[in-house]
Structure 1
Amino acid sequence: MEEEPKDQRLEQDAYGNEEISDRLEVTVAEFIDGDTTRFNYNGSNESFRYLMIDTPETKHSRHGEEPYGHEASERTEELLSNAEKIEIEFDVGPKQDDYDRYLVYVYADGEMVNEILVREGLAEVKYVNPPNDTYVDILKNAQQEAQAANLGIWSEDD
């Protein structure tokens, strides 16, 4: 059986080093919340959870809407709606979680949405499960910047 061709190309990582990218282009099927989106993938509508981040809840059965949950959801929708190209990238570990959601890094026009949400104080680094932790240092640095600037969930007035 032949393996499907991958969308491989040379990219630059955050440090300017060239690397091969295995990103796959997708389209949005439905916005769920800040860290979960349904994408059209392999011919069907599938749920995707953004790796290593957690945004405040908007529709939680017990907690209801948490502070900054609405802002995180709106920001994710804005980034993806305005993107000409949306891509996903799997890490080297399990591709799905216990809820059958695909685990990915999401890119809007080449910029990692996971990192943008953390850097803007709309998500925290959470659920770091090796080996799905390739970009943990990038995300932790973004979180330190958001905390130092008291942005969003890290603001002092909450």
Structure 2
Amino acid sequence: MLQIGKSFEAELSECTDGDTAVFTINGKEYKTRFLYIDTPESTRMKEAFGPEAAQYTCSFLKQGDITLELAVAAYSINTIAFLPGFG
């Protein structure tokens, strides 16, 4: 079980948009919302610069190792919130 305040090594499973992605942590997938990062929407609703924000975030996430710190246990149904820590 993931604990608030702890850091976890993560592997990118799926890019969602500019401020959300799916990561595998300890063999389990977690839909993740990045705290303090807000980008235009690019999934259901397409906002100006949403696709560009999603593309930028996805390319950034693929560049190296990822460490995430759990900040909130449940942001919304099936989504947890992490402070991003990309190393």
Shorter chain as normaliser: what TM range?
Answer: 0.7 to 0.9
- Give the corresponding residue for 1:81: 62
In the TM superposition, what whole-angstrom CA distance separates every residue of 1:48-97 from its partner, at most 9, and x where no partner exists? 1111332101122xxx31111111111111111111x1010122xx3112
- Give the corresponding residue for 2:52: 71
Matches of residues 8-157 of structure 1 in structure 2 within 5 Å?
A: 22-60=6-44, 64-83=45-64, 85-91=65-71, 94-109=72-87
- What TM-score do you get using the length of structure 1 for normalisation? 0.49
Number of residue equivalences: 86
Point out the more displaced range, 51-60 or 33-42.
51-60
Partner SS for 1:73: helix
Partner SS for 1:72: helix
| Higher-helix-fraction structure | 1
Using CA pairs under 8 Å that are at least 6 residues apart, name the structure with larger relative contact order, 1 or 2: 2
Large movers: runs of 4+ above 6 Å: none
1:23 shift after superposition: 2.0
Runs of 5+ consecutive residues of structure 1 not aligned to the other structure: 7-20, 110-158
How high is the sequence identity, in percent, across the aligned residues? 28
Distance 2:40 2:77 in 1: 19
Runs of 5+ consecutive residues of structure 2 not aligned to the other structure: none
Counterpart AA for 1:71: E
RMSD: 2.3
